[in-house]
Amino acid sequence: MSYVDEVLAKVIEKNPSEPEFHQAVTEVFETIRPVIEEREDFFRREAILERITEPERIIRFRVPWVDDKGNVQVNMGIRVQFNSAIGPYKGGLRFHPSVNQCIIKFLGFEQVFKNSLTGLPIGGGKGGSDFDPKGKSDREIMAFCQSFMTELCKHIGADTDVPAGDIGVGGREIGYLFGQYKRIRGLYEGVLTGKGLTYGGSLARTEATGYGLVYITQELLKDKGMDLAGKTVCVSGAGNVAIYAIEKAQQFGAKVVTCSDSNGWVYDPEGIDLEALKEIKEVNRARLTEYKKYRPNSEYHEGRGVWQIKCDVALPCATQNELFIDDAKQLAANGCIAVCEGANMPTTLDATKYLQDNGIYFIPGKASNAGGVATSALEMSQNSERLSWTFEEVDGKLQGIMTNIYKNISAAASRYGKENDFVTGANIAGFEKVLNAMLAQGIC
C-alpha cells in the first residue's frame, strides 16, 4: 500500500465519526500524492503525513452562562490548535449548533494550508461552540462570550494563537470577547482580529473575504481572456462573505441574481439590491423573506435552490457541503464557466470532480477565501506596530495577495502536469511551505 493510502486509512480508523475531517484529509492527500511519491521512503520515515493530520493540541471546555430568564445554560467550547510550523495559530471561531469536534478539526486542517497560501507567517487553528446566537438578546450574547473567553484566554495570545470571527461571530461578538480577554489577562494586544475600528481593528477586514473572493475570480477570468463585467453571478449565503462578494462583483460590472440563508433563497433577475440586503441582514438581523418587500419583482423560495439559476459564475458563500453533485450537473448544463468557493468546503468531493471533469474552472475555498485571514494577518501587523493603515493600503495589499495566490496555485498545478487543476495547485503550494518549515524544525 502506498504511504498516502496507509495514512489515510489510519486517519479514518483513528478518528471515527468525523466524516468532514475525513473528507478534508482525503481531498488534500489525493492531490499532494505526487509530491509525497517523489520521496515516499523519506516522508514515511519522517511520519510527515501522520504529523500533519494530528492537531498539535485540542482544548475543549465547558461554557456555562445565565440566560434572560435566570436559567443556567451550558455549551461546549473548543479550540483546535492544528499546526504552528509557520506562525502562531490563526483561524476563526464559529458559534453554531452544528459545531462539534469534527467540524472544527476539518476547518482547522484546511486553515493550515490556506494560511500558508497567503504567504504570511500564520499557522492554522479553528474554534467555536455549539452555542446558537440566533434569537438571543445582546445581554445573553455578552454573557456567553464572557464565559467562553474566561476559559479560552488561558490558551491564546498575540504571539501564540489569534482567533477571529466565522459563522455566528461578527463584530459584536469579537468586541465582547476582546473586552473579557483584556479584563482577565490585563493585556491590550492583538489577540483577536476582526476588531472594531476604535480598538485595533483594520479597515477593509469586514469586506476582505468577499472582496478577495471576487479579486481571485477576476484574476482567473482575466487569465483565461475573460472579464467579470457583464457576467451573471449566483451567490449563496447572505452573511459577511456573501454580502461583500456581491458588493465587489457588482463594482466589477457583474450582475448578481441570487442569495440565500438557511431558510430559503432569493432570485432577483434585475440584480440583488445590496442596500436592501445589508439593511435586512446587517441592521435588522432579519430573514430573507423580508427582501420581497424591497423588491416586489424578486422571487423568494423556501429551502435550497440557488444553483438551478443560469449563471456564468457561481460563488458558494454559505457553509460546508451546500453544492452537491446534482447542483454541479445543473451548473454545467447551464453553461457555468467558473465556481469559486467563498465558504469553506461548500462543494462536495463528487461535485468538485464533476465540475473539473466538465471543464468548469474551480477554485477551492482555501485559496479563494484566503483574503479574510490574510487581512486578519495585516490587522496583526498593524497592532504590532501600533499603527492603522488606510482602507486603500489594506485593500491594495489584499489585491496583491489574491493575485499571488492565483499565480502560485496555477504554477504549482502546472509543475505537476495538472494545468487548471486549482485544487491540486492550492494543496501542493500550501503543503510545500508547511512541510519545509516542519522538516527544518525537527521532530515536533
User: Among residues 124 and 165, whose Cβ is nearest to ligand NDP?
Assistant: 165
Pick the binder of ligand NDP from 8, 241, 398, 435 (CB under 6 A). 241
**What number of residues does the chain have?**
444
User: Binding ligand NDP by CB under 6 A: which of 221, 249, 254, 343?
Assistant: 343
Binding mask 321-340 for ligand NDP (x = CB under 6 A): -x------------------
Based on CB atoms, which residue is closest to ligand NDP, 150 or 344? 344
Do 148 and 138 form a contact (C-beta atoms < 8 A)? no
- 253: region left, alpha or beta (phi > 0 left; psi from -120 to 50 alpha): left
Binding to ligand NDP by residue 237, rule CB under 6 A?
yes
84 near ligand NDP (CB under 6 A): no
* Of 31-39, 57-65, 314-322, 351-359: span binding ligand NDP (CB under 6 A): 314-322
Which of 93, 2, 82 lies closest to 40, judged by CA? 2
- In the complex with ligand NDP, the residue whose CB is nearer, 97 or 230, is 97
Q: Is 213 in the site for ligand NDP (CB under 6 A)?
A: no
Among residues 217, 344, 368, 410, the one that binds ligand NDP under rule CB under 6 A: 344
CB of 99 to ligand NDP, least distance (A): 11
Which residue number, 150 or 308, has a Cβ lying nearer to ligand NDP?
Answer: 308
User: What is the spatial distance between Cα 179 and Cα 183, in angstroms, rounded to a whole number?
Assistant: 6
When the beta carbons of 319 and 348 are compared against ligand NDP, the nearer one is 319
Sole window of 145-153, 183-191, 266-274, 342-350 interacting with ligand NDP (rule: CB under 6 A): 342-350
> Count of residues binding ligand NDP (CB under 6 A)?
24
From 318, 377, 401, 434, residue interacting with ligand NDP (rule: CB under 6 A): 318
Q: Where are the beta strands (DSSP E) in 84-199?
A: 89-95, 123-129, 161-164
We find the least distance from the C-beta atom of residue 37 to ligand NDP, in angstroms, to be: 31
Residue 428, interface with ligand NDP (CB under 6 A)? no
**Residue of 68, 27, 92 whose CA lies nearest to 239:** 92
168 binds ligand NDP, rule: CB under 6 A:
yes
Our measurement of the distance from residue 87's CA atom to the centroid of its chain's CA atoms, rounded to an integer in Å, reads 18
Separation of alpha carbons 443 and 407, rounded Å: 32
Catalytic residues: 126
What nine digits make up the cell of 394?
A: 489594506
Q: Which of 84, 115, 319, 352 binds ligand NDP (CB under 6 A)?
A: 319
Q: Is 256 in the site for ligand NDP (CB under 6 A)?
A: no
171-210 residues labelled b (16+ CB within 10 A) or e (exposed)? bbbbbbbbebbbeeeeeebbbbbbbeeeebbbbbbbbbbb
Q: How far apart are the first and last CA of the chain?
A: 26
Q: By the 8 A CB rule, do 343 and 237 touch?
A: yes
Could you say which residues in the range 260-299 bind ligand NDP, by CB under 6 A?
A: 260-263
Residues in 148-167 that interact with ligand NDP by CB under 6 A = 165-167
| Cell digits of residue 109 | 486542517
- Spatial contact of 61 and 151, defined as CB atoms under 8 Å apart: yes
Q: What's the Cα-to-Cα distance from 284 to each of 95, 277, 288, 290, 343, rounded to whole Å?
A: 19, 10, 11, 10, 23
Stretch that binds ligand NDP, among 2-10, 256-264, 331-339, 392-400 (CB under 6 A): 256-264
Under DSSP, is residue 233 helix (H, G, I), strand (E, B) or coil?
A: strand
Q: How far apart are CA 306 and CA 18, in angstroms?
A: 28
Nearer to ligand NDP, 228 or 242 (CB): 242
The minimum distance between CB 414 and ligand NDP, in angstroms, equals 26
Q: Judged by CB under 6 A, which of 87, 108, 342, 430 binds ligand NDP?
A: 342
Does 91 participate in binding ligand NDP (rule CB under 6 A)?
no
The answer to whether 117 touches 410, Cβ cutoff 8 Å, is no
- Please list the residues that pair with 36 across neighbouring strands: none
Please tell me whether residue 239 binds ligand NDP under the rule CB under 6 A.
yes
- Give residues with Cβ within 8 angstroms of 70, minimum separation 6: none
36 or 77: CB nearest ligand NDP = 77
Q: Coil, strand, or helix at residue 301?
A: strand
Q: Is 372 an interacting residue with respect to ligand NDP (CB under 6 A)?
A: yes
List interacting residues with ligand NDP (CB under 6 A).
Answer: 165-168, 209, 237-242, 260-263, 317-319, 322, 342-344, 369, 372
